[in-house]
């Protein structure tokens, strides 16, 4: 497995913990996502995933389905 690490801002998340927990659960259900952590205070997500098993587009779409957007920096 060639695991990749990704860090990005989750636009619209806010500083409440409920959205972060929901986002973590949704992303962790994607096959190929090994680890995920969403920090509600910094509005950032940290993801370790296998790009052979899950595409970045699938990650982005999962986040968009919850009403958030990704901003890569």
Q: What is the CATH number of the domain that holds 10?
A: 3.30.70.100
Count of all residues that appear for the chain in the document: 73
pLDDT per residue as tens digits for the range 4-55: 999 999 998 877 678 899 999 999 999 999 999 999 999 999 999 999 999 9
* Domain assignment of residue 32, given as a range: 4-71
pLDDT per residue as tens digits for the range 55-69: 999 999 999 999 999
- Give which of 47, 46, 45, 38 is closest to 17, Cα–Cα: 38
What pLDDT does residue 1 have? Answer: 55
What pLDDT does residue 71 have? Answer: 92
- Give which of 8, 1, 5 is closest to 70, Cα–Cα: 8
**Total domains present in the chain:** 1
């Amino acid at each position: 497995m060639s695991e990749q690490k990704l860090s990005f801002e989750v636009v619209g998340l806010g500083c409440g913990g409920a959205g972060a927990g929901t986002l973590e659960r949704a992303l962790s259900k994607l096959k190929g996502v090994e680890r995920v952590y969403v920090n509600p205070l910094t509005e950032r997500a940290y993801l370790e995933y296998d790009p052979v098993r899950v595409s970045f587009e699938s990650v982005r779409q999962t986040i968009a389905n919850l009403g958030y957007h990704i901003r890569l920096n």
